[in-house]
Amino acid sequence: MTTDRLRAVVVGGSIGGLAAAVLLRDLGWQVDVYERSTEALRHRGAGIVVLPTTERYFVERGHGRRVSLRLTYWTYVDQTGRVLSATPDGYRFGSWTTIYRSYLEAFDSDRYHLRSEMVDLILDDRRPGIVLRDGRRLHADLVVCADGVASTARGILLPDTHPVYAGYVAWRGTFPEERLSRKARELFRDAMVYQVLDHSHILVYAIHGSEPGSRLMNFVWYRNYPTGGPFEDLMTGVDGELRPSTLPPGLVRPEHLAEMRAAAEALAPPLREVVIGSNDVFIQAIFDLESPRMVFGRTILMGDAAFVARPHVAAGTAKACADAWALHETLRDAASLSDALAEWEPRQLALGRSVVERSRRMGTRSQFEGSMFPGDPEWKFGLFGPEVPG
């Protein structure tokens, strides 16, 4: 279809929204991104596993350097730090901020609007739009809602569809590699390292951004907190505010930090060094979310706004980018916008359902059944099923 002069409005300027924006822009669309944050995003999740779809744009279109590093081994250790298994899987790892900034650089900065919160949708079949908090009403041919797990758009479009807390959180943080002991540096040099604990597990890996020896180490430790007291207490910060999704660095209460550091006695010494040494600790609650629809006339939901998979498959940004690539490809090849969206929706619904289901099964095994084991062959990352780069 001819897409020149078509206009898209993207709500949410994180990785999913930006991937959609650059890929629509590359088809000739006029695209504006509206992000409610007041400044360029940072600190979102520290390190992430980078599946090929997340960095496909940079690899294929040459807009920049690789945004990830490769670690050869997927290693399991026991409590003493002894290596139980090490497989040469070759997954890639990056910093959330580096990937976000790379997408931002590939987009047009004058069309990226911070301090622009969408508060309502204009659900018109031919000329939909959004209403911003300052009262502006912006119309477009297509409205792309990539506003994350707590999506305002989804609240309007699917008021009965909500994220469901999985019963556990991820404690996260980073620590400079250069401050690790020699033994720990050696373990982490070319490996992502897992330790399976009692109804819990932790992984530690280096993230992209600098040379080996001076990288940041990132930890993600999954721990159970039931609702009805423990979860709400944990997520209530030093300022007394309950944040049910993310408790940012600096806001975790001292008693919870102390409890987590005491529990770190059960960790292998190299992993413990990273956890105890980290002073930017933050907490993310784990959710499942499945939307029954993604297309509403010419308004669409994508990324975490539509489906949230638990992080065990490490596919969240890849799924958001896959939604954006599929949109690009269907718009490029279809006869009309409505044909493209009719093709896009069932494909992306099926992908969302399958990845949520697989990640839920993994989380249940680790956190509740206690059946995850070191070297577990089912425990692999991937969006379209296990994607082992080798």
Ligand X SMILES: Cc1cc2nc3c(=O)[nH]c(=O)nc-3n(C[C@H](O)[C@H](O)[C@H](O)COP(=O)(O)OP(=O)(O)OC[C@H]3O[C@@H](n4cnc5c(N)ncnc54)[C@H](O)[C@@H]3O)c2cc1C
**Would you count residue 299 as binding ligand X (CB under 6 A)?**
no
Q: Could you give the angle at the alpha carbon of 337 between the alpha carbons of 336 and 340, nearest 5°? A: 90
Cβ-count burial 242-274 (b if 16+ within 10 Å, e if not) = eeebbbebebbbeebeeebeeebeebbebbbbb
User: Rounded to a whole number, what is the distance in angstroms from the first to the last CA of the chain?
Assistant: 38
Q: How far is the CB of 169 from ligand X (least distance, A)?
A: 8
Nearer to ligand X, 79 or 347 (CB): 347
Determine if 304 is a binding residue for ligand X (CB under 6 A): yes
Size of interface with ligand X, in residues (CB under 6 A): 35
**Residues 18 to 37: which contact ligand X by CB under 6 A?**
34-37
Distance CA 155, CA 162 (A): 8
Q: Interaction with ligand X in 271-290: which residues (CB under 6 A)?
A: 284
State the minimum distance, in angstroms, from the CB of residue 50 to ligand X: 7
Distance CA 195, CA 184 (A): 14
The residues, ordered by sequence, that sit 6+ positions from 13 with a Cβ below 8 Å of its Cβ are: 21, 33, 34, 35, 37, 41, 104, 112, 113, 114
16 near ligand X, judged by CB under 6 A: yes
Task: Give the integer Cα–Cα distance in Å for 49 and 381.
Answer: 8
Nearer to ligand X, 34 or 296 (CB): 34
Among 3, 6, 9, 14, binds ligand X (CB under 6 A): 14
71: contact with ligand X by CB under 6 A: no
Q: Is 54 in the site for ligand X (CB under 6 A)?
A: yes
Q: Work out whether 327 is an interface residue with ligand X (CB under 6 A).
A: no
Where is 331: in which H helix or E strand?
Answer: helix 316-333
Q: Binding segment for ligand X among 67-75, 135-143, 176-184, 315-323 (CB under 6 A)?
A: 315-323
Contact 291, 307 (CB under 8 A): yes
Site string for ligand X, 161-200 (x = CB under 6 A): ---------x------------------------------
Tokens representing 227 are: 């609702």
- Asked if 13 touches ligand X (CB under 6 A), the answer is yes
Judged by CB under 6 A, does residue 17 bind ligand X?
A: yes
Task: Supply 63's token pair.
Answer: 């807009």
Of 49, 60, 147, which is closest to residue 99 (Cα–Cα)? 49
148 is an interface residue for ligand X by CB under 6 A = yes
Binding mask 115-144 for ligand X (x = CB under 6 A): --xx--------------------------
Q: Which chain residues interact with ligand X by CB under 6 A?
A: 11-17, 34-37, 41, 45, 48-49, 54, 117-118, 146-149, 152, 170, 220, 284, 303-304, 311, 314-318, 320
